[in-house]
Homo-oligomer: A and B are copies of this chain.
C-alpha cells in the first residue's frame, strides 16, 4: 500500500476519517505509525494529500484509527486509455483488474465473445461490485486515485454495433489486438494529440474472425506484437505499457 485511499463518504466534518479495517491494521502494524505521524493518502476519484494520525484505539485487527486528511492542490489526471476486454476467468480477472488500475485506465468494458466461457458472467466476482477491492489494490499500489469505471456487457454484437458508434467520437484512436495483424503499435503514427484511446483485447484464445470484422467495421485498427502471440494477461499489460509510452500520456506531477 503506497497510498492510503479513502472513499469520499468516509471523510467527515473537519476532514476527519475513522478507520477500522485492513487499512487501520496496515497503518499500525506495517507502517508502525503513532499519533502525530503522517502517511500519504488520497480520496477515490479525488485529490492526493497527507493524513495525520490523531488517535489509535485498541490493538490488532480491531484497532481503530482516526486521521486528519489534508488534500494537496492536485488530483491525478484522467487516464487517456479505455480498455475493452473479452471476459477472462475470475482468477485472471482479479489480477488483471489490479494491474490495469495500477497502470491507469479510464474505463474497463468486460464483454462477451465467442471464446468466453458463459459461466464467467455468473461468477460472484462480477456481482455487487465484488471486483472493486482489486481495483483499489491497484490504485493503492500505483499511488493513483482515479478508479476505473467497470461495465459488463453480456452481448457482443449490441456492444460493438450499437454502443461503440455512440461513443466512438470521444476517441482519437480505436485499436483491436490481433496477433495476425501486420501492424505493431510502433508502425502507427502517433502525433502529439491529446485524444483518448480505446483498446480491445480478446479473451483467452483471442477474438474470432467475426469479432475482428465487427471491430474493423467500427474503424478499429488491428495491431499485433510482431510475430508473438501473447496470452491475454500478458497482452493487456504489454499493450497498455506501450501505449503509455507512445502517446503523450502525462502522469500527474
A residues apposed to B, CB below 8 Å = 2, 76, 98-99, 102-104, 141-144, 184-186, 225-231, 233-234, 237-242, 244-246, 251-253
Contacts and interface: CB of A to CB of B under 8 A. Distances in A.
24 contacts: A2-B229, A76-B227, A98-B231, A99-B231, A102-B228, A102-B234, A103-B228, A103-B234, A141-B231, A142-B227, A142-B228, A142-B229, A142-B230, A144-B227, A184-B245, A186-B245, A225-B241, A227-B253, A237-B237, A237-B241, A238-B240, A238-B241, A239-B241, A241-B242
A91 to B, nearest CB: 11
A214 to B, nearest CB: 23
A76 B143 CA distance: 39
B238 A103 contact: yes
Given A237-B241, A238-B241, A241-B238, A143 B103 contact: no
Contacts of A246: 245
Given A141-B229, A227-B252, 19 more contacts: A2-B229, A76-B227, A99-B231, A99-B234, A103-B234, A141-B231, A142-B228, A144-B228, A184-B245, A186-B245, A225-B244, A226-B244, A228-B251, A234-B237, A237-B238, A238-B244, A239-B241, A242-B245, A245-B246
Contacts of A245: 184-186, 242, 245-246
A228 B231 CA distance: 24
Contact of A143 (B2, B98, B102, B229): B229
B185 A228 contact: no
Given A237-B237, A242-B242, A141 B227 contact: no
A197 B229 CA distance: 23
Contacts of A229: 2, 141-143
Contacts of A233: 99
Given A185-B245, A238-B240, A239-B241, A104 B228 contact: yes
Point out which of A99, A186, A241 has the most chain B C-beta atoms below 10 A from its C-beta. A241
Nearest to A239: B241
A233 B242 CA distance: 16
A245 to B, nearest CB: 5
Contact of A230 (B76, B102, B225, B228): B102
